[in-house]
Amino acid sequence: MLTLVSFLVTLGILIAVHEYGHYRVAVACGIKVLKFSIGFGKPLYTWRLKNKTTEFSIGMLPLGGFVKMLDEREAPVDPAERHLAFNTQPLKSRAAVVAAGPLANLLLAVLLYSIVNWTGLQEPKAILASPVAGSLAEKAGLRGHETVLQAAFEGDKLKTVRSFEDLRWRLTQGALEGLDLQLVLGGEAGAGTRTVLLELSQFDAATADAQLFRKIGLPGPWTPPVIGEVMAGSVAEKSGLRAGDLVERIGERAIVDGQQLRETIRASAQGAAPGAAATAPQLWRVVRSGQTLALQVAPDIKLEDGVAVARIGAYVGAPPELITVRYGLFDGLRQGAVRTWDVSLLTLKMMGKMVIGESSLKNLSGPLTIADYAGKSATMGLSAYLVFLALVSVSLGVLNLLPLPVLDGGHLMYYLWEWVTGRGVSDVWMDRLQRGGVAILLGMMCIALFNDVTRLVG
């Protein structure tokens, strides 16, 4: 239920802001607005503001909205009101009305990011987990439990890394744009700093998907290698493991963090005999209440997507250490604008790479993924939900600015043609372009929906 409510609230806010941008600028330009609707289909609720001619309504299908303006191309217009019609307005006014919707979404994102910056957000500290074996992170010399103090792409000035989410954003940018990332690391107990270079330029952006950070080798922040909740009747319980046990060693391998502990357990299935239900017993050394214990643990083997994976039946790893990231009034606003700009550019670059085949179409997401993330972010608190809302708002704004005939960007393309040639697009070409735009948009929606189902089912 929370997922559905969060999804509807998300759509409602984004659609209302987008359409209000069109409406507000249309009114400012002296255009008569006949109807403002959030949603399509049969109106569920309709009202009018005092001394206003516009009818406001909420439609049954909350998958879009529209602003209907007086226009001679849609219906006859009283000569006395012709100056109020959209089609009779100067080119700059028509372009401003069309561009106002996407720009409203981008301004909303700036505001939302700024609010989060001002109020503060709990994020994991930028402490690195042990890198995935054979990954870029391991090859760069990362070992785990290092704190990232500063980071910069080659040629840029070093900037402070305030949290692991800050680092994750830089990793995303570097991987998708082919930029190497320099990291300044601090060790434990006041040890000196050292610098490493993550050669993200070697990463193939075409393979970027939901497993991006695992492929880089840094799937998450550092967490202590402790045992959490133990399931009744599980291997963990039968072996004597208890919640709160700190795992120091498995066999001859020292365990640094929760990530390494999970990987070690999963990988133990590789040495098991074919068809076995469990791995060979392993010697685990754990610390419990200050005492070191030696336990024999034989993880169960489960098949996941046809791959044998070992499980012990217990939650592995504790939550990461958190820090509150907060900015002042002006710095928070500036950071909100910078993040909106960066996300917009990255979104455009990703779309461009998908068009030319340099990035996977698996990165397209549809309504099911949006609904899923809306619900998850809502459970994490208001700040996390606002960040999610800002991200989707940026995506909606950028998408609508694409030069596809059925989108706002397509109309702006028509106006550019009119400005250059001095005449509008002919009805014949308008019809052809609209059909082509609908076909492309439907294709994108089908791919996004397929990706949604694949992610959720898989």
Active-site positions?
19
Beta bridge partner(s), residue 324: 122
Amino acid, single-letter form, for residue 124: P
Euclidean distance between CA atoms 384 and 405, whole angstroms:
34
In order, the DSSP letters of 214-229 are HHHT--SB----BEEE
Euclidean distance between CA atoms 214 and 207, whole angstroms:
12
Euclidean distance between CA atoms 247 and 268, whole angstroms:
16
The answer to whether 193 and 150 are in contact (CB under 8 A) is no
The tokens describing 231, both together, are: 């399931």
The answer to whether 308 and 272 are in contact (CB under 8 A) is yes
Euclidean distance between CA atoms 114 and 387, whole angstroms:
10
DSSP β-ladder status, 246-250 and 253-254: antiparallel
Report angle CA 249, 253, 255 to the nearest 5 degrees: 50
Amino acid, single-letter form, for residue 398: V
Q: Is 171 left (phi over 0), alpha (psi -120 to 50) or beta?
A: alpha
How many Cβ atoms sit within 10 Å of the Cβ of residue 187?
13
The tokens describing 271, both together, are: 């040495």
| CA distances in angstroms from 71 to 34, 48, 99, 405, 417, listed in the order given | 10, 20, 18, 19, 20
**Max Cα–Cα distance, the chain, nearest Å:** 92
* Those residues with Cβ within 8 angstroms of residue 12's Cβ, 6 or more apart along the chain or in another chain: 38, 62
Residue given tokens 């991987």 in the structure block: 175
Euclidean distance between CA atoms 31 and 94, whole angstroms:
10
The answer to whether 218 and 196 are in contact (CB under 8 A) is no
Euclidean distance between CA atoms 170 and 179, whole angstroms:
10
In 187-245, beta strands by DSSP E? 193-198, 227-230
| CA distances in angstroms from 179 to 86, 198, 351, listed in the order given | 46, 9, 18
Residue given tokens 């002006």 in the structure block: 330
